[in-house]
Structures are given as C-alpha cells and as structure tokens.
Amino acid sequence: MNWSQKTILVTGGTGSFGRKFVEVMLRDYRPKKLIVFSRDELKQHEMRLIFPDNASTPLRYFIGDVRDQARLERAFRGVDLVVHAAALKQVPACEYNPIEAIKTNIVGATNIIEAAIDQNVQHVLALSTDKAVNPANLYGATKLCAEKLFVQGNAYSTKAGPRFSCVRYGNVVGSRGSVVPLFAEQRKTGRITITDPRMTRFWLTLDQGVRFVINCIERMHGGEVFVPKIPSMNIMDLAHALAPECTVDNIGIRPGEKLHEVLLSEDEARSTVELEDMFVVQPLHPWWDDAQLPEGKKLPEGFRYGSDNNDVWLKVDDLRALLAKA
C-alpha cells in the first residue's frame, strides 16, 4: 500500500491508540492526510500541542461523534481509509449507562459503515477486544455486535465499494483504564488490589497494537477478524513486576469480569486459519467477494486461544522490558 497517497481518518483519535497511531503514521508512513476524529475539544487541543496541524503537516483535527452519521458523512469525504477506534470501553460505565454504550458502540458502528459506503471509502478496519468473545458484560456484548456489523457490512457494499474488517486483541500495557496505571497509583499506598490470584490476561504494547493494525490493513480483503499471537501473564506476576514491595489484597472477581480471557473460541476456530504471527477468522458468508482469503494452517478440532492455555507467557522481567518500551 502506498501510504503517501492515502487520506486516513482515525475515530477516537485522541485516545491511547489514536495518539500512538498518529505518532507512528507521521513518523514512519507519512500519509497524504491524517484526520483525527473525536468529540473532545480539550483532548484535541492537548494533542495539537504535540502534533500540530499547520501547513507543513498532513494532520487535521475534526470534532464529531460517531453517533452523528451526518457529521461522519462530511468527515469521510475524500477519505481512503478509516481506522475505527472510538468506543465506550469502561466496563462499569457501560453497565451503568447501557443505552449510551449501545449508541456509541453499536449504532456508532452502523453509522461508520453507512458513511463509508456513501462516501466510497476504500477500507475500514475496526478495533475490537477479547471481551467480545463469549461476552460476560455489556461492553463485550456491544463489541461482539460491532464485529458482526463490520464483517457482514461488506454485504451492503458493491464490488468496488468499501471493505470492512476487524482486529481483536487483548489488554494494552499502560493504556488508560488498564490495571497498569491503577497499580502504579495504588503502589503509593503500599497496598494493591487484585480480584483473583489465578487470573490471566493477554498483553501487548500500544506500539505492537498499532503495528498490528497497519499490517492487517495491508492484508485485508474484507470480512476477516485478525487476532494477533500475543503473550499471557498471570495477575500475580503482574503485581510483582509493578509493585514488588506492596501488600496484595484479594477483593474477589467483579461483576462481568472473567477469570481468563479468550481471543478465539472453539466455535470460531472451525473457520479460522493460523498464520505465523496471527489467526484469521474468515467470514462464514462472504457474499461480497469470491477472492481467496489468506491461506494458512487449519486449526485442530476443539482449539481455543485463551489467556490460560497460551504457549507464550510473560514473566516479571519480560513485562518490565515491555513497560520500558511503552
């Protein structure tokens, strides 16, 4: 893909992912234009101080909400590629404000699809989460719906129209709302809280997440869900890495929380191929395209990619090395 000829828009562009995506794009790929679409003018102002939008840069800032399809229509004019990162993702907030979560995560996904088709965007890649697999909370359920919308949204497009795909990955080291900054704050008190010492999670850095998204954009045909191969870590190892001197309080699993996360379920595995660095969940009904999807190794019957049965595990020193790069 010739990135220097592309106009790219990232929704939720002032969030953790969006800021890193902008940083990497400006430094390494230099697109023709890069548009940050978000609803928070203060965050845009703060981001503009680091990444200015003057005549010498391709960067532009666009205030808008994914709930507003008319605003998306205007923002998407002349755009070649959309990375959809906007979401309500705090689990307790989504449980307490369920209609708001649905408006942003599901209706917003629908608006992205409609606007992309109407404005003839070439590619749309949406960010999803391990919580969309066998969801145990409303946030996961909304992201599952969004995944289905983006995969089958290709059926609404013409042969020459937009292609929609998703990436699905686990917890991001150091992102807002993750346990890493929480432990860092609790460390000041000498005590940290965990919900269950058996708990495991998938982990990757923001830079790894951004690089994976860019890789998937270059490989997508439409309808795939791309799942990276990433390491797991036990919550106690995480606690020892971040706050080795602190007392650990076990407070019990919270409502809607899982003991282990899953990036690929047994049922999905039947339509998934394994590549060297990722799994690719192929669409079950690809009416929109007869093109060959990525060739890869079929997965064995009953395969499940969970944070508890992973082949690759982070140890304390590994996490500290990741944090140093984050």
Q: Are the C-beta atoms of residues 126 and 147 closer than 8 Å to each other? A: yes
Phi, psi (deg, nearest 5) at residue 291: -65, 150
Report the interhelical angle of 235-242 vs 316-325 (nearest 10°). 60
Q: Are the C-beta atoms of residues 122 and 162 closer than 8 Å to each other? A: yes
Helix or strand or coil: residue 248? strand
Q: Report helix, strand and coil shares of the chain as percent, to nearest 5.
A: 40, 20, 40
In angstroms, the CA 18 to CA 24 distance is 10
The CA-to-CA distance between both ends of the chain, in Å, stands at 27
Determine which one of 6, 20, 131, 229 is catalytic.
131
Query: What's the sign of the alpha-carbon dihedral 42, 44, 45, 50?
Result: positive
Whether residue 131 lies in the annotated active site: yes
**Range list of H helices, the chain:** 16-24, 41-50, 69-75, 91-96, 98-102, 108-118, 138-152, 179-186, 206-219, 235-242, 266-269, 316-325
Q: Are the C-beta atoms of residues 303 and 269 closer than 8 Å to each other? A: yes
Exposed/middle/buried for residue 196 (C-beta within 10 Å: 0-12, 13-18, 19+): middle
Active site residues: 131
